[in-house]
Copies of this chain bind each other. A is one copy, B any other.
Amino acid sequence: MDAVQKANSGHPGMPMGMADAAYVLWTEFLKHNPKNPEWINRDRFILSAGHGSMLLYSLLHLTGYDLPLEELKNFRQWNSKTPGHPEYGITPGVETTTGPLGQGFANGVGMAIAETFLAKKFNNKDFTLIDHYVYAIVSDGDLMEGISQEAASLAGHLKLGKLVYLYDDNNITIDGSTDLSFTEDRLKRFEANGWHIQQIDGHDRNVIRDAIKAAKAITDKPSLISCKTKIGYGSPNKQGTEKSHGAPLGDEEIKLTKQSYKFPSLEPFFIPKEVTNHYRKALEEGAKQEQEWNYLFDSYQERDPEQIKSFNSFINESSIDWDEALSEFPADAKGMATRKASGEILKKLSSVIPNLFGGSADLSPSNNTQIDSHPYSPENRTGRYVHYGVREHAMISIMNGINLHKGLKPYGGTFLIFSDYCRPAIRLAALSKIPTIIVFTHDSVGLGEDGPTHQPVEQLASLRLIPNTYVLRPADANETAYCWKIAMNRTDGPSILALTRQNLPTLDRNEVASADGTELGAYILMDSLKSIPDAIIIGTGSEVAIALKARERLLEQDIDVRVVSMPCQEIFRRQSEEYKESVLPSHITARVSIEAGVTNGWQEWVGNQGRSIGIDHFGSSAPYQTLFEEFGITADRISEEVRESLGTIKAKY
């Protein structure tokens, strides 16, 4: 109450309503060491209803995390460790960024998947190395969002018994009573999803304790405990109403609330000594638990150093010998689709990266993502492939959770068009610096007959707009290999691979530059014959081969151009000015870009004198060759634009 009041902004209702449940969970169940929030075998706690951040910050402060009271007083202020919604990487003990509803719910499913995999892989009769729960507090809003149904259905299917979610069932949303829009039988729905369900009085701590015990006792089903609570519990005039949801209670109401609780002081932020002492037992208890675990770890290591070496390589990023891992694809005019090249690369990577953990949103044969024919399942916890079902949004969010847990290296596939279905989870990966890898195949109108509902047009440009996101669009099989290397090595944000459905020639790297230029984001693929090119053509992905063809035609007309392949704008943007100038010298203003998507954004690279060839409208259903022809994604069109561009520039000077 005090922090929200001081910030004059925030959500007091949820923290007050769920204080009882959170108190029981954090003081009697949660296995954690506040002094080491990174301890791998800790229980995970997720506040999926992130707007109640003050509940989490209070618990972190009280149990002894590195979050002084000053930070709570600084709630929602510039540079504080207590932002409006919990942010991973900002506050010690915050396991994931939440606020956009449903995301934390799905993240937890990912963490639980990782737990079962590592437990099965590394536990044995003598040593239980991994054995922890994933707890969350979820809200009405979480359960209304579609992503939570996707994740809940999969969690039930996968029998993730260590998932225990406390549902703040308070009958209140921002618009008012849940009677306005949310009258489904939630518990029955979760039962249908294969969950163990309970409904309890969320203010009776004995009942809460019993319910969590019961939930933990069920090992083959995730658990949802509906805690019937009053939002803003304890506030004499605002409890049970939406008025306590998203605004400070007011000084007077805070006073009345403290009085009704017989709180010993009305001083803001006053914490009685005995309360601190009571919560700080977590420090001692947590240190002891981790110490015991460390002892177990050491004994295990003594007994089986190889297994522990393997465990360490799972938990920490292990270095890969990329020369070993990636063999070159031979030149081939007929070539192959980059999705197919990706599939072959993945097969190789899966043998050198034992914790590579794939999946697809029910497009495995199209995405070429499958690396394990014995997928992950309740019966096969060490399967290295997840059939996520037609659940793109949950897939990405679950992968974020797997990454946050640590231990597995997840990637997942779907069509590029369906990036629209999972954008919020991609954004959170970018914001939280999570290295989730996404394989988006069928990356342009090149998918052909399925038509405009399935043809991405604005998606490449639109994904590039998300800060801290790599959009990698390789031009052939060998660039695809380097894109995988970039994605696998990235540690501080998501990587997106945009791959073709259609075949592309595998370029002859004796004729064109080495594909290792991919690692610089853009490179001179094939230069002009003379030292200063007449013009520059910039292409990405499937359009690079078209650019090369245009180069040949233009040569016949004595126009001598450079072709630049630009698989990743974000990476190129980070290169030195010298390198960028060497690829795109500023005095060469006759530039043409080609990409089978919207042209918006390309002006950054071609400049005002330049021209961009693309598709600034929706696609159409037809064989892809027809579409490229009709939409002008052709070598002829490039030649024409280059010639016109040269003409305009010459005329001007």
Contacts and interface: CB of A to CB of B under 8 A. Distances in A.
A138 to B, nearest CB: 12
A516 to B, nearest CB: 28
A332 interface: no
A521 to B, nearest CB: 16
A194 interface: yes
Contact of A617 (B188, B189, B464, B467): B467
A9 B156 CA distance: 35
A617 B627 CA distance: 36
Contacts of A99: 450-451, 453-454
Given A145-B146, A174-B363, A175-B365, A84 B192 contact: no
A192 B366 CA distance: 34
Contacts of A291: none
A254 interface: no
Contacts of A458: 465-467
A621 B449 contact: no
A465 B598 contact: yes
A191 B193 CA distance: 12
Nearest to A459: B465
A144 B153 contact: yes
A598 to B, nearest CB: 6
B189 A394 contact: no
Contacts of A389: 144, 173, 180-182
B626 A78 contact: yes
A410 interface: no
Contacts of A421: 100, 145, 423-424
A453 B149 contact: no
Contacts of A465: 458, 461-462, 465, 598, 600
Interface in A377-425: 387-391, 393-394, 417-418, 420-421, 423-424
Contact of A608 (B101, B184, B462, B608): B608
A373 to B, nearest CB: 11
A101 to B, nearest CB: 6
Contact of A181 (B189, B388, B420, B608): B388
B84 A451 contact: yes
Given A157-B183, A184-B192, A458-B467, A87 B451 contact: yes
Interface in A95-138: 97-102
Contacts of A451: 76, 83-85, 87, 99
A219 interface: no
Contacts of A448: 9
Contact of A149 (B80, B85, B146): B146
Q: Which 9 A-B pairs have the closest CB atoms?
A: A146-B146, A83-B621, A181-B389, A99-B453, A188-B192, A149-B149, A78-B622, A84-B451, A458-B465
Given A157-B184, A185-B191, A192-B192, 5 more contacts: A77-B623, A144-B389, A157-B182, A181-B362, A600-B601
